[in-house]
Structure 1
Amino acid sequence: MDSQSHFTVGEDDSGSLSEEEYFRVSSPIGDDEDESFHSDSETAETGEETHGNGVGPGQETCEPDAPGFRSTDDFLDKVFSTEEDAYAAYKQFARLRGFGVRKGDVARMNGLLDQVWKVRRIDDNHNHPLATTMFRHLLPSHRNLSDSDKAQVDSLKKFGIATSKIMAYMAGQSGGYGMLWFTKRDLYNYVHSQRIAQINNGDAAAAISYLEGKANADMMTVARYTKTTENQLGSLFWADGQMMADYQLFGDVLAFDATYRSNKYKKPLVVFSGSNHHKQTAIFGFALLEDEEVRTYKWVSLNILDVMENKKPSVVVTDGDKAMRAAIADVLPLARHRLCGWHLEKICVLRVKEPEFRKVFKKAVYANLDVTEFEEYWSTAVESLGLMNNSWVKSTYELRHSWATAYLRGTFCVGYRTTSRCEGINAFIKGFLKSTNSLLELVQSLDRVVKDYRNNEVTTQFYSSYYTPVLTTGLDNIELFAAKTYTRAVFKEVRKQIKGVGSLLFLGKDSISTTSVYKFSSVGNRRKVRKVLYDPSEPKIECDCMLWNSEGIPCCHIFCVMKYEGWDEIPPGLVVRRWCKDAKEWTASKTCDLSGNSNCLLRYGALCSAMSVVAKLASDDAADFLVRDALTSLARRLQVRRGNTVDHEARERQQDVVKDPPVARTKGAPKRGREAGSSTNAELGGVGVAALLVGIPGTRRGRAFLKGR
């Protein structure tokens, strides 16, 4: 009894055309011939024995991807172990011939143990022309992304590669677009389906769930958000443990950098950043804002202070947004507010059409002028260019105390005097973000941003620790001490100051009680006299150029005094620890014996720094990887000692899922009446406010979902 499986061929073929028949060969079941199928006619007539899988000695099963099925003769009499293999081989045959296939009804066959499929007949007639070689990869029935293709696409999308670039990359790998068995539309459809699958319960809920997963992996991670009366996401703030530890070390200067067009809801993204000991960007946290009102910026500012153990920065750098400035003045009244020069330059280009003024403005922002020199320079330039009545020039001048170096001399700004810091953050982050990003994609992309910054820090720390620069200044002892003490980036600036000693003219030395007053001028400007006060009894050394106060490194005038005094090392009072190679290790050693919540973050950072060394050494060799078992055992012992005080409430999902936010109305858009109840009603909380606070058990940040404050 023949058992056949029919496959309908081609998109427009009728059921009677291009039909291929497969014969199933089987071995008998027991002695009951009624419950067995006969083998094909040739086997039955010759009495050939079937072995194992039912294939006779003259038959050989074919793999579904076996090459060579280009003609009916190649395909005829081939034997396959399963129906799926037969269909796969038939699809390959159809693909090479240039037509599509559809799987029709297949007769069910029961009562078989060992069975194979054999091609009995091929009807290769078609009611349409066959596709030529250059079009075969476009046939719908043959187009699909294989599992390996999907894995590669997922990996590339994970790192922010655009879909169009992925298509071009995979085509290049395969030898051309014609070698890919999927089209650009197929790829876009797959990527879209993956995006939809990730946000099945809503975009906002998916982002919060992702942050909850981060909190489970890093117990110091904190995420806080507000909800509107419609249960929609309002504002969202989050920071991980390493960010908090870095803030304790480098949070003396805090930058608020707002980025727009980073997500499809047009929510402004605020990046909280600073400068680490390598003068690189250190990320302290992120926030998505409900709007750009004072109350929203105040909510964010209060939350970052609360999360960072109420450590307040001495300087806050912003882009000049009025609402942001008002909120900072309220929350951080003692902090010096500095406007970012890079943002001011961008606005200057838009508001002042005079090209020459842009050069004037840049010098006014960054030149190391005295207040008197600045005022004379500004008034002369503005009058000569005829900009006395320009509204932007006048309003910007009123804010000169927040942007002119002349008024900020002596204020420690850790490198934010230049434009490269904010410009670099903006350019780098925008390389990872798109205006069509969902909230989940935004959070995941920002994770990659942070990882990239941290990798840069590790690489730079390696070169700072294991490479010694060539001494070039002539003051070898002082230069060598600086090279051993400071990180590479800071040492380069220190070396410039040491080299500057050679261009100074010594004008004399006066004595006032125990204090010596050294006077210097430079070869290029003999009229400019700088004074250095040195009191050996304290010891104390100061220069009126205030470079040390502003940048945290000694100036050339101080190095010249060291030269005259015969010093071989920079005195400890002039070494700012945040610029040293061992900044993190030093802080760790000083705080490891302290207890209490105020030093929890520093201890956390110290342990992370120490464990990174252990992880590197243990990963180099498979045998050393067993240290993981010891760490797991140690973690269990610590949990037992603490009484397993993990609050399991954090593992419970919220009953009310946070809905996706509406598209935000950014500044400049038409203003409308705000819906009632859409604002928060408390400084740290609000209407329907929720906070995912995850911390070390027993500390102030208990492991729980909190509603309200």
Structure 2
Amino acid sequence: VEIPLLNHLGWNQTPKNNFQVKMMIPDLESECAPINMIVNYSINGVQDMGGVDFKNMTTTDIMMYDFPNLEVAFTFYNWYARMHGFCSRKSKKKKNANKEDVRQEFVCYRQGFREDRFKDNKIRQREAKPITRCGCKAKCVVSVNRITQRWSIRSINDVHNHPAVKELFIGFLPGHRGMDDDDIIQMNHYKNSGIRTSQIFGTFANQVGGYENVTFSQKDMYNVVDKDRRSKGTDSRAALAYLRSLKSSDPAMYWKHTVDKEGRLQHLFWSDGRCQMDYNIFGDVLAFDATYKRNRYLCPIVIFSGVNHHNQTTVFASAIVANEIEETYVWLLECLLEAMKGKMPKSVITDGDLAMKNAIRKVFPDVHHRLCAWHLIRNATSNVKSNRFTHLFRKLMLCDYEIVDFERKWNDMVIECGVHDNNWVLDMYQKKEMWAAAHIRGKFFGGFRTTSRCEGLHSKMGKFVNYRNNLTEFLQHFNQCIEHLRYKELEADYLSMHGDRMVQTEFHLLETNASKVYTKNVFFLFRSIMRKSCAVKVVGCKQTASCFIYIVNKYCRSDCEWHVSYWPISMELKCSCLRMESIGIPCDHIICVMVYMNMVEIPSALVLDRWTKNAKDSVNYTSQGQSGGWDSMSVCRYKSLNHRCREINNLVCKNPEAYAETMELLNDIYGHVKSKYEVQPEDGKKIEGHGDRYLQNPLTAKTKGRVANVAGRAGNKRKQTQCGFCGITGHNKQTCGAFKKQKTFVDKSKTTDDDGHDDDDDDDDSGGGGDDDDDDDDYRG
């Protein structure tokens, strides 16, 4: 029996197993009897729809298909609708006595009318959507066969009372937009990498050859993200569940949280095993600061950080807090001590917050607390309106003065600038042990003078997290930020271990030895100090019972003098400038003495282990402390498979024979993989703990600092615009009528100048600055 309808539908070959042709011939007794034949074309999934010619399909043709379930039937009809300029949606449904679906109506998206209560609503927060429903009667009815349990089209009305949508705009119809599971998986991979949703949409467009080819809109992506957030229940419980899941791959994972009286999450502190081991090596210097607007609740993020052997920022612990009072910081520092097995830092640097200061005094009573130099300069500028004072104050803060010289210069500055009665200046003098280099020399800070490392870390973190993230998303994306920092450290390890540095100074042997001992970045710092050592020289030596004391002067400056003590037995050198004790790297005065003594290697007493290439040799990073973040190997495998599938798509999508052959192979592969590797979910597995079952989300925090809207601050009004030309408020120089008149007059006078030259001179802008009587003798090296 010939079936010409197959050719009409675009099938030019014998149907495969997934496309069945069923013929029912009830009467074959008489040769002259007519053959009554009913042909059903079975569609078992999306893979069978690629060879159907929907564009030329009629209503008679579409009724000859059957489907395994309701979803496949709806997808089939929606593909038909796409090729005919409309989209469909599900409408009335009928169930049997067993509550099973037996009948379903698919209607045109413009079926029905908008209810009057929505049209007459005068109180709206946003513009109403355009009315698209016009009472279209087009519909398709499908029902299930009780014997075969397959769905088939029972009736169809393909008459519309509206024009068809142009092919150019068909992708914008709601029924043809949406993200499938593969799109969602790929989007989540991008989100876990810190890529924002708007940028992810551009990535999808690049993959399919343009934005118009993406099967969903950017709004659809945001809807999927929002739906996923709501499906996880309470955000606080999901965040704790995420931290709990990390412990399965990181046994050293530590976290702790508190709740308020209403059962809301208040504070959350966490530190993984890798952070704890980094603190064990580099925790001699601790810096912490708060950053804002990094999550949906505007809760401040407190990050405890330090500096590693590459002079890079490393994170020890992090916390989300509801407020920044003294009790909160005390709790955070106690959690830090507990996580780090009681090890205290030697030095701490903060931005000068009073709550931080009091908390440090209680929990870390013996550490050296230093105030951030950048914040002090900013406060000096705002509290004392004098550029001269800011200049002198900066020198007093950063230069290595002796205490006697510091006191003398402080008194001279107070008298010169007339700030003897300024409360801020008096308060800073009382805190001089926390910021003046003259008082903190010899205390190890590892090169820290400001919290700029914290600010830089906050800037890097802004690439991964933003104020739209809930707690769970913040933890996931913040973990990606930490992974990025660790990758940069791994990269620096490689650059330090491989290759030999080119010698660039005259001290070849000493420089070569330093390049083998120090990491790349620290070696560069040491080499710059070596160059500076050429500007000093040894002018004398004194011998005592146990050591030699070398006198070092600056070149052509006999008043700049330092004393370097050398103990021959222990090969130890100490300088009066105490920079070796402050930074952990030999100063230029010590290097000058080493060159004077013809040393070709840096004595071990001068090598601080935390700056060397072998700083982490005492810790095994491969056996523990690995981060439990997203599976990077899984992402790589997914990307590789996705790339190969795209290549196959490009090769076979335009060839019907190649498409049919490839689809058959893919069906076989899919069935094999699903039966062998599909993981069944565990029943009854809970991710919540016993104590956080009723934990609620935190309230939106009220952070420190000024209100975002300057005009809204109590007692302050927005300053009116004042013209810089006439001095009248209400306009600026560009809109000033008087300025425009004068400008027009000047332009006319220039055009009538016989010489054609501009007579304006710049005598008033000579740029002469104030006299600076501070010479190089104010510096000690």
> Which bracket does the TM-score occupy, shorter chain normalised?
0.7 to 0.9
Q: 1:235 to 1:496 in 2, by over 3 A?
A: same
**Whole-angstrom CA distance in 2 between matches of 1:292 and 1:93:** 60
**Whole-angstrom CA distance in 2 between matches of 1:431 and 1:260:** 14
Alpha-carbon offset, residue 491 of structure 1: 1.0
**Whole-angstrom CA distance in 1 between matches of 2:175 and 2:627:** 53
**Whole-angstrom CA distance in 2 between matches of 1:571 and 1:494:** 14
Counterparts of 1:138-177 in structure 2, within 5 Å, are 138-177=172-211
**Whole-angstrom CA distance in 2 between matches of 1:484 and 1:311:** 30
Equivalent of residue 64 in structure 1, options 44, 49, 65: 49
Equivalent of residue 110 in structure 1, options 135, 138, 146: 146
Q: 1:155 to 1:390 in 2, by over 3 A?
A: farther
Residues 350 and 451 in structure 2, CA contact (< 8 A), matched pair in contact too: no
Alpha-carbon offset, residue 80 of structure 1: 4.5
**Whole-angstrom CA distance in 1 between matches of 2:237 and 2:512:** 55
2:198 corresponds to 1:189:
no
Alpha-carbon offset, residue 439 of structure 1: 1.8
Alpha-carbon offset, residue 86 of structure 1: 5.8
Counterpart for residue 592 of structure 1: none
**Whole-angstrom CA distance in 2 between matches of 1:383 and 1:68:** 93
Alpha-carbon offset, residue 531 of structure 1: 1.5
**Whole-angstrom CA distance in 1 between matches of 2:64 and 2:424:** 84
Deviation digits for residues 585-644 of structure 1 (CA, Å, limit 9, x no counterpart): 1x34xxxxxxxxxxxxxxx658449999xxx9xxx9xxxxxxxxxxxxxxxxxxxxxxxx
TM-score, scaled to structure 1 = 0.73
Q: 1:135 to 1:475 in 2, by over 3 A?
A: same
Counterpart for residue 665 of structure 1: 702
Residues 273 and 624 in structure 2, CA contact (< 8 A), matched pair in contact too: no
Counterparts of 1:442-521 in structure 2, within 5 Å, are 442-521=474-553
Counterpart for residue 564 of structure 2: 532
Q: 1:356 to 1:117 in 2, by over 3 A?
A: farther
Deviation digits for residues 306-358 of structure 1 (CA, Å, limit 9, x no counterpart): 22121111111112110111111111111010112233345455555555655
Counterpart for residue 548 of structure 1: 580
2:434 corresponds to 1:416:
no
Q: 1:240 to 1:611 in 2, by over 3 A?
A: closer
Counterpart for residue 15 of structure 1: none
**Whole-angstrom CA distance in 1 between matches of 2:321 and 2:47:** 61
Alpha-carbon offset, residue 469 of structure 1: 0.8
Counterpart for residue 404 of structure 1: 436
**Whole-angstrom CA distance in 1 between matches of 2:72 and 2:279:** 60
Bigger radius of gyration: 2
Residues 487 and 579 in structure 1, CA contact (< 8 A), matched pair in contact too: yes
2:82 corresponds to 1:95:
yes
Q: What amino acid sits opposite 1:130 in the alignment?
A: A
Deviation digits for residues 57-100 of structure 1 (CA, Å, limit 9, x no counterpart): xxxx9932347533456994796462665653442332233212
Alpha-carbon offset, residue 163 of structure 1: 2.0
Residues 485 and 580 in structure 1, CA contact (< 8 A), matched pair in contact too: yes
Counterparts of 1:358-373 in structure 2, within 5 Å, are 358-373=390-405
Q: 1:97 to 1:358 in 2, by over 3 A?
A: farther
Q: What amino acid sits opposite 1:540 in the alignment?
A: E
Counterpart for residue 740 of structure 2: none
Q: 1:482 to 1:608 in 2, by over 3 A?
A: farther
Q: 1:610 to 1:77 in 2, by over 3 A?
A: closer
Counterparts of 1:205-220 in structure 2, within 5 Å, are 205-220=237-252
Counterpart for residue 67 of structure 2: 82
Residues 366 and 404 in structure 1, CA contact (< 8 A), matched pair in contact too: yes
Structure 2: gaps of 5 or more residues? 1-19, 91-104, 106-140, 637-685, 708-781
User: The residue matched to 1:660 in structure 2 has which SS?
Assistant: coil
Equivalent of residue 261 in structure 2, options 213, 226, 229: 229
**Whole-angstrom CA distance in 2 between matches of 1:142 and 1:265:** 35
**Whole-angstrom CA distance in 2 between matches of 1:351 and 1:445:** 39
Structure 1: gaps of 5 or more residues? 1-23, 56-60, 589-603, 621-648, 671-709
Alpha-carbon offset, residue 409 of structure 1: 1.5
Q: What amino acid sits opposite 1:168 in the alignment?
A: G
Q: 1:54 to 1:278 in 2, by over 3 A?
A: closer
**Whole-angstrom CA distance in 2 between matches of 1:355 and 1:435:** 37
**Whole-angstrom CA distance in 2 between matches of 1:287 and 1:407:** 32
2:463 corresponds to 1:431:
yes
Q: 1:463 to 1:74 in 2, by over 3 A?
A: farther
Deviation digits for residues 434-472 of structure 1 (CA, Å, limit 9, x no counterpart): 233322222222211221111111111111111221112
Residues 69 and 75 in structure 1, CA contact (< 8 A), matched pair in contact too: no
Q: What amino acid sits opposite 1:477 in the alignment?
A: L
TM-score, scaled to structure 2 = 0.67
Alpha-carbon offset, residue 229 of structure 1: 2.8
Q: 1:418 to 1:304 in 2, by over 3 A?
A: closer
Q: What amino acid sits opposite 2:48 in the alignment?
A: E
Q: 1:655 to 1:156 in 2, by over 3 A?
A: closer
2:690 corresponds to 1:653:
yes
Alpha-carbon offset, residue 414 of structure 1: 1.0
User: The residue matched to 2:286 in structure 1 has which SS?
Assistant: strand
Alpha-carbon offset, residue 552 of structure 1: 0.5
Q: What amino acid sits opposite 2:480 in the alignment?
A: R
Counterpart for residue 333 of structure 1: 365
Q: What amino acid sits opposite 1:408 in the alignment?
A: I
**Whole-angstrom CA distance in 2 between matches of 1:353 and 1:71:** 81
Q: 1:347 to 1:605 in 2, by over 3 A?
A: farther
Q: 1:183 to 1:62 in 2, by over 3 A?
A: closer
Residues 349 and 450 in structure 2, CA contact (< 8 A), matched pair in contact too: no
Q: What amino acid sits opposite 2:690 in the alignment?
A: R
The number of aligned residues is 576
Q: What amino acid sits opposite 2:695 in the alignment?
A: V
**Whole-angstrom CA distance in 2 between matches of 1:260 and 1:351:** 25
**Whole-angstrom CA distance in 2 between matches of 1:75 and 1:378:** 98
Q: CA RMSD in A?
A: 3.7
2:342 corresponds to 1:315:
no
Alpha-carbon offset, residue 219 of structure 1: 1.2
Residues 95 and 142 in structure 1, CA contact (< 8 A), matched pair in contact too: yes
Alpha-carbon offset, residue 515 of structure 1: 2.3
User: The residue matched to 2:515 in structure 1 has which SS?
Assistant: helix
Alpha-carbon offset, residue 190 of structure 1: 0.9
**Whole-angstrom CA distance in 1 between matches of 2:282 and 2:168:** 60
**Whole-angstrom CA distance in 1 between matches of 2:186 and 2:148:** 40
Deviation digits for residues 5-26 of structure 1 (CA, Å, limit 9, x no counterpart): xxxxxxxxxxxxxxxxxxx974
Counterpart for residue 594 of structure 1: none
Counterpart for residue 257 of structure 1: 289
Alpha-carbon offset, residue 544 of structure 1: 0.9
User: The residue matched to 1:65 in structure 2 has which SS?
Assistant: coil
Residues 273 and 626 in structure 2, CA contact (< 8 A), matched pair in contact too: no
Equivalent of residue 583 in structure 1, options 603, 608, 615: 615
Residues 412 and 549 in structure 1, CA contact (< 8 A), matched pair in contact too: yes
Counterparts of 1:269-280 in structure 2, within 5 Å, are 269-280=301-312
**Whole-angstrom CA distance in 1 between matches of 2:209 and 2:546:** 80
Counterpart for residue 128 of structure 1: 162
User: The residue matched to 2:225 in structure 1 has which SS?
Assistant: helix
**Whole-angstrom CA distance in 2 between matches of 1:71 and 1:360:** 85
Q: What amino acid sits opposite 2:241 in the alignment?
A: S
